[in-house]
Chains A and B, each alone.
Chain A
Amino acid sequence: MNASPHNTVSPRTIEQVYRPLTRRTFLKGSAAAMVGVAGLMGALRPLLELEHGTVTLDELLQRHYRELKPADLRRIMDQLAAKCETEYGVHPHLRDIRPLANVEFGYALNLTRCIGCRKCAHACLQENNQSRADATDLEMSYIRVLELNKGSINLETSRTDYDHATVPAKDKFYMPVQCHQCRESPCTKVCPVQATWREPDGIVAVDYNWCIGCRYCMAACPYDARRFNYQKPTIAPAEINPNQSYLSNRIRPKGVVEKCTFCLHRTREGKYPACLEVCPTGARVFGNLRDSNSEISYILANKRVYILKEDVGTLPRFYYFFDK
């Protein structure tokens, strides 16, 4: 019986099928196994931190903020406050302040009045517990004061590092830029873990314990309003603002994104934001957009209002206006 061509088996095929253990395949396999073990160890590393006590179990499991029961929330607040006391030496008055009913915050800035003194940007550092004790720290104020040439609003020729003896400088005007709390916020759309969202009063908030630090939101923001904690913040105990809120100015951990919240720990209790409180020219106006008698409603009804990058369609709640 002639062998069928289908049954002929070439020696080469047998070698392929049985794959004898050669030096090459052994090295390939062991290298792959080592990579696998290293990856597993990396994935389990938080467990090691849990054992050392640098991370609590709740931080590790990352239960979602909105799903918490009130008792759980209180426990987590206590833990975060205790952690702040351990690491920074100050026991904060840490709360979870909820939005006020029938309130939508709006902010307006008078470009005619602003003189670029940077008092708002520095007050932001003090109010929001930004890292600044170390001389090499980034001072991640949520406000960047741009110096622009008079005649047009050309951001490309603007600069933030001006250092004149006195301001305003000749033929310059100044435009502080911070989070615009957009109604169509690109940053919340791109977040892969929903760690950032729009609150009912319009504030775009970040859950620092839920953020994974991918920085997609920073890339999406057209106003460069978000900041990333490249390192653990350093603050002297005397400079820590103890009036803290979970979603705003509690001291952030390393590796998360933060942003301006219109000082929601102040504004949700009826106070003005810190940047407005210190403005020497009164260029900043803050209020409730849903109150037709508020200051911000007066601006929108009576002044010439400019919206930064209106063409990108983000519908900000931050307005610039001009005066005579």
Chain B
Amino acid sequence: MDRPPVIFQKRLWGVALALGAGLAAMPNLPATPESTPSAPVNLPVVARPPAEQPAPGLPADAHLNKTPPRKTIGLDLVKNGWTYNCMECHKLFVAKWHYDRPMAEHRDVTLAHGNNRFCLNCHHATNRNAFVDYDGGEIAQADVVTLCAKCHGTIYRDWQAGVHGRSNGYWNAVLGPKTKLRCIQCHDPHNPKFQPMPPLAPLRYPVRAAHPPTESAAAAAPSH
């Protein structure tokens, strides 16, 4: 065996497969019932994945497009249907601060987050399902806001006050609930600068925008 066996878990089937050397990962193998969860027992617990946050806003507002700016959340493996349990691979791949070769996996990660040059600036060294706190402790994935607040204290203060980032739902807590978008629903944590986006079409207003003068009419008009 030139490579160690790798354990994958498919989100829908909950199948854990040990694959030998030379075998490709095959996610479409026969399904087993969900009643037999066969996840390895010694893996750390995964908090609710960020990709499965509740939809912002109220269902009655279907005519408004409230999609958060960062539509797809997660690594390429997650987009292909794998779970977010990083430790399924990383309990075998030991974390290092510095890699002397380009990464073979996580090619979709472009790290452009200020001084943070290393994965372990944010990710926990021994539990990749969690982030690292000031004291080396763990911050659960669901509490990613706490991780960002380690450096971005003023932004975190504004976010808590409801002034940074978007809120949806009810402004009046008595009349209904409010959902707040969290950091990574708008910012890519690896490249947090807000990306430019195409604007919607200019409005046909005022009248000169809706009905621009024709060339003949413009030529006939007296020029000043």
Using CB atoms and an 8 Å cutoff, list the residues of chain A in contact with chain B: 100, 115-119, 121-123, 125-127, 136-141, 144, 160-168, 227, 239, 241, 243, 267, 269-272, 274, 276-282, 284-288, 294-295, 298-299, 303, 323-324
Contact = CB atoms under 8 A, between A and B. Distances in A.
A126 B154 contact: no
A136 B167 contact: no
5 contacts: A122-B200, A141-B203, A288-B171, A298-B162, A323-B158
Chain B, interface size category, equals 35 or more
A300 B171 CA distance: 17
Contacts, number: 139
A163 B205 contact: no
Contacts of B172: 100, 270, 288
What is the predominant secondary structure among interface residues of chain A facing chain B? loop
Given A116-B199, A121-B200, A137 B210 contact: yes
B166 to A, nearest CB: 4
**B-side binding surface: helix, strand, loop or mixed?**
loop
B204 interface: yes
B169 interface: yes
B201 interface: yes
Given A138-B206, A166-B198, 15 more contacts: A121-B200, A127-B64, A136-B211, A137-B210, A138-B205, A139-B210, A165-B198, A270-B176, A271-B58, A274-B61, A280-B68, A280-B69, A280-B166, A282-B186, A324-B154
A269 B175 CA distance: 7
Contact of A168 (B158, B196, B202): B196
B12 to A, nearest CB: 31
Given A270-B171, A277-B61, A278-B64, A118 B200 contact: yes
Contact of A282 (B58, B165, B169): B165
B202 A118 contact: yes
A267 B61 CA distance: 13
A227 B158 CA distance: 35
- Tell which of A121, A282, A299 has the most Cβ of chain B within 10 Å: A282
Nearest to B166: A282
Contacts of A324: 154
B210 A164 contact: no
B206 A241 contact: no
Contact of A298 (B57, B163, B169, B175): B163
B150 interface: no
Given A127-B64, A272-B171, A279-B166, A161 B209 contact: yes
A160 B203 contact: yes
A118 B199 contact: yes
A139 B207 CA distance: 9
B161 interface: yes
Of all A-B residue pairs in the complex, the 6 with the closest CB atoms, nearest first, are A270-B175, A270-B172, A282-B166, A166-B196, A295-B162, A118-B200
